[in-house]
Amino acid sequence: MHEFEDLNYKFSIRQSDLKPQNLHEEFINEMSLVDKVLISHYLELKLINISYFILAQDELKIGYGKTVEENGFLTVYELFILPKYRELGFGTKIFNQIKEFSNSLDLKIRSITLPSDRTGKNFYESNLITARALIMEEKRENSRYRP
């Protein structure tokens, strides 16, 4: 567990095997607005070796990261902060805990983000994660955007 103080509050980031269900549902709902087809596909994947990094202020869960150990990488599949807590550096706090965990496993970090998700892309690039591959497909009827 990692504890820190910010904004005159105490926060913690705990690693867990249990999904923070409410936060996960909010993440899926938000990402479905960006690309419902890809999110539906993602939800069908059978992932193993999953770890969650849950950020809380006392008992209030305000964000999390989901990682999967696979193919010599620690892949960040989900990184989510409740909207009213964004732009305060909490995503970076979670990401730094994920980096410490990946270093302890001697694994490099890989991330998955939607190509039209500029917020996600910019976040990962600011944390020295670089795009290595793009999934290309025919244009669909509805354009993609992140609210």
Name the band, by pLDDT with cuts 50, 70 and 90, for residue 133: low
Question: Which architecture characterizes domain 2-126 according to CATH?
Answer: 3-Layer(aba) Sandwich (3.40)
Distance (Å, rounded) from C-alpha 121 to C-alpha 104? 25
Q: Which pLDDT does position 22 carry in this prediction?
A: 96
Distance (Å, rounded) from C-alpha 103 to C-alpha 100? 5
Distance (Å, rounded) from C-alpha 19 to C-alpha 54? 9
Q: Which pLDDT does position 143 carry in this prediction?
A: 54
Question: Each residue of 18-77: pLDDT tens digit?
Answer: 999 999 999 999 988 878 888 899 899 999 999 999 999 988 999 999 999 998 999 999
pTM as predicted: 0.84
Does the pLDDT value for residue 118 go beyond 80? Answer: no
Question: Each residue of 102-114: pLDDT tens digit?
Answer: 999 999 998 877 6
Give the chain as a DSSP string: -EEEEETTEEEEEEEESS--HHHHHHHHHHHHHHHHHHHHHHHH----SEEEEEEEETTEEEEEEEEEEETTEEEEEEEEE-GGGTTSSHHHHHHHHHHHHHHHTT-EEEE---TT-HHHHHHHHHTT---------PPPSSPP---
